[in-house]
Amino acid sequence: MVQNVILAIFAHPDDELGCIGTLANHVDAGDDVHLLFLTRGENASTIPGTPEDRIKARKEHTKQIEKLIGLKVHFLDFPDSHLEYSVEGAYKVAEQIKRIRPNAIITWNLSKILGAGHPDHRNTSKLVFDALSYSRYRKEGCPYDPLRTRLTLYMYTQSYDPRERIVYIDVTDQYDKIMKFIEIYKKAYGDWPVDDYKKGSMLVMGRYANVKYAEGFIVINQGYPASKLLQVSKHED
């Protein structure tokens, strides 16, 4: 029986690196897990060929991710590297929230760090934030009912900040899947040593959570306490 519906929303395929262990946790728990990409990743500088070639490669990667983790992947058609904030864009994202009807959403934050601070990432954060409000409204032409449930929004965090409410998720049991995930996307990441970065990040966050490996999120709480979704539990060796 499905307990929760979890929706992760990102700009490009491979952006889900920061939450893939958490998503795998929820799949293993029997939850209905969805991954929505706002672009098709056609402007990836690390993948050769035409934009159509890159889209094909990106979709092949995400098919493998679906199989590896057991989640469902969806795409919108915002332009890669030209993803701009607009009210109409936020309504477009809201339509997908109404369709999938999640209990919780995971997305980018407004990071100024190079890489994580890609304009598409920041604009994704803005679009999702407003889409949470717009998903509560009716819009002419939208076939889905408003979603009146108060959702909890989880945003990536790059480091500890005592001013933020941060939850750390034990992903120790997902380590092997996370490494396989990185292998699938290896070409998309280029020469960035992503496996070392991810392992180091999980170790640091694991120290805060008192587990071996963890992923961390800023909690924007709109109704559900953090303890109800994306729970942290101490890993037993």
Provide φ and ψ at 198, rounded to 5°.
-65, -45
φ/ψ (deg, to 5) at 56 = -60, -45
| Chain segment 44-59, per-residue pLDDT in tens | 777 878 889 888 989 9
Q: What is the mean pLDDT of the chain?
A: 88
Q: Measuring CA to CA, how many Å separate 20 from each of 103, 137, 166?
A: 18, 30, 17
Collect all residues with Cβ–Cβ distance below 8 Å to 149 and sequence separation of at least 6: 101, 103, 223
Mean pLDDT of 194-207: 94
pLDDT at 156: 93
Domains and CATH numbers, the chain: 5-221 (3.40.50.10320)
For 141-178, the pLDDT digits (tens) are 899 999 998 888 999 987 666 667 888 999 999 999 99
Beta-strand pair 104-107/5-10:
parallel
- Quote the pLDDT of residue 117: 66
